[in-house]
Amino acid sequence: MKDGARVAFWLTSIEERKEVPIVEGMPELGTQTQVTWKEQFVSGIETPLIGTLLATIAFLITRWRINLK
Q: For 10-62, how does the pLDDT look when each residue is reduced to its tens digit (9 = 90+)?
A: 778 888 999 988 888 887 888 899 999 999 887 777 888 899 999 999 999 99
Pair 2, 14: CB distance under 8 Å: no
pTM higher than 0.75: no
Question: What is the pLDDT confidence band of residue 69, given thresholds at 50, 70 and 90?
Answer: low
The residues with which 15 forms a beta bridge, in sequence order, are: 37
* Residue of 10, 68, 65 whose CA lies nearest to 42: 10
Distance of CA 28 to the CA centre of its chain: 36
- Report residue 40: phi and psi, to 5°: -160, 135
Distance of CA 29 to the CA centre of its chain: 36
